[in-house]
A and B are shown apart, each in its own frame.
Chain A
Amino acid sequence: MERLTAVEQRAPGRWQIGTVSVIKRETPRVKSFRIALPMWMPYLPGQHYDVRLTAPDGYRAQRSYSVASSPLDEGEIELTIDRLDDGEVSPYFHDVVAEGDEVEVRGPFTSYFVWRGEHPVLLVGGGSGVVPLMSMLRHRRRTMPDLAMRLLYSVRGAEDVIYADELGDDAVLTFTRSAPAGWSGHRGRIDGALIAASASSFTSGLAFVCGSNGFVEAATGLLLATGFEPQRIRTERFGPSG
């Protein structure tokens, strides 16, 4: 079994040119990009990278994306990007970037929404909010598979499940719009019943909640009601981005 990577927060590196090695379509609007980095450094699950696009006339656009991979994947990072139709960075990644392309990135950044090996850990993700949580889940599976970590993952429909082929017994899904045929699990938004059934044994540990602001507000409200203390709940909310 691989060992947990202990990493202290340190100043990130400079901008660097990575090479996209693998592109995986996760859902109709989400793709994962594996990027090989010449100046890779160890990171903590939950950290993000900045991406910078430069046009020939010098115009630039920057966005931040969470890393989805385990930091045991030395030399590369995986960024999972949701296509926002009115954005300019995510459509570029979806419509233009091909395997072998170079992209400019910088990171890893910030050490609040990060997992450092605490347990038990409850992960609560809405839509593409699952991305930084997947880094934690993947890292835990490879380092401490017996550590109590559970993912509650809210998605709209069966075709919207990111990392569908990797979700196992440690993941609890709920479908807010259309469940797949034969689905016997939870339907609808994350609610008090689902939290009570899935989260009550985790209140002595940490909860990581990531998604839209509305999702995070609703989920943190339910976690507080089930007994999580506010300081045991870490949140990451997306603004409108793109």
Chain B
Amino acid sequence: MSAFISRGFTGRRRTPTELAERLPPGQYAESGFPVLTAGPTPDVPTDTWRFRIDGMVARPQEWNWEQFGALPFETVPCDIHCVTKWSKLGTSFGGVSLDTLLPLAEPLGGYAMIWSYGGYTTNLAIEDLTGGKAWVVTEYEGEPLPREHGGPARLLVPHLYFWKSAKWVSGARVMDHDEPGFWEMNGYHNRGDPWKEQRYWND
């Protein structure tokens, strides 16, 4: 760690101690919910929305909006951390756990490429999608997920930087090997653990 001190800097936006320990290194608490999207915001009507799990699976699965709504629904209280440095503490989403979805497809590989309406992709290890760590969510703080935040449905993987929580999610392709997704090809870290500050390549 460098011993560099910024001349005259005292830090005037410090987070209270009880919340500070929930902030990963280099993050600050933000009360709003900023919108960061690469490209135009897709418009995905629920009557054409589908979520698929395919690739290296025993039984490819596809749900339409109605079928998806009949799956076990969980409320997920969480803190979220964006690689652009803001974190939002104490928020909540609602949706279906990947622990419910993936076993129905029976993955035969250890990795998944998540893809979205609009062409966005992000890669995750199945390990990071299972064990109560990932959901496909359709609600934000008790209301339908707004379109600008990925509605009608987005992935939620709160233990990793938020670019992994793909908006307008449309499916997961299970693979036997890892491949970089959109941001992972464009300079962001392959896994993105905020507690290890894995922001960029080589972090």
Contact = CB atoms under 8 A, between A and B. Distances in A.
A235 B39 contact: yes
A103 B30 CA distance: 24
B161 interface: no
Contacts of A109: 187, 200
User: B interface, how many residues as a size bin?
Assistant: 35 or more
A235 B200 contact: no
Nearest to A229: B40
Contacts, number: 123
A55 B10 contact: yes
A59 B34 contact: no
Interface stretch (A21-29, A60-68, A158-166): A60-68
Given A12-B200, A109-B200, A112-B38, A92 B6 contact: yes
A111 B188 CA distance: 9
Nearest to A56: B5
A235 to B, nearest CB: 6
Main secondary structure of the interface of B (DSSP, over half): loop
A201 to B, nearest CB: 20
Contact of B38 (A103, A224, A234): A234
Given A64-B84, A110-B186, A88 B35 contact: no
B128 to A, nearest CB: 22
A233 B187 contact: no
A73 B5 CA distance: 27
A178 interface: no
B93 interface: no
Interface string A217-242: 10011001000001101110111111
Contacts of A111: 186-187
B200 A239 contact: no
Nearest to A15: B2
A1 interface: no
A55 B148 contact: no
Nearest to A91: B12
B70 interface: no
Main secondary structure of the interface of A (DSSP, over half): mixed
B37 interface: yes
A15 B200 CA distance: 12
Interface in A188-242: 213, 217, 220-221, 224, 230-231, 233-235, 237-242
Contacts of B111: none
A103 B6 contact: yes
A230 B9 contact: no
B35 A55 contact: no
Interface string B24-52: 01101010101111111110000000000
Given A104-B2, A109-B200, A213-B148, A64 B32 contact: no
Contacts of B8: 92, 96
Given A230-B118, A234-B39, A240 B7 contact: no
B85 interface: yes
Contact of A239 (B6, B34, B148, B182): B34
B14 interface: yes
Contacts of A55: 5-6, 9-11
Interface of B: 2, 4-14, 25-26, 28, 30, 32, 34-42, 82, 84-86, 118-119, 148, 182-183, 186-188, 200-202
Ranked nearest first, the 8 interchain pairs of A and B with the lowest CB-CB distance are A239-B34, A110-B187, A88-B13, A59-B11, A11-B202, A53-B6, A11-B201, A213-B35
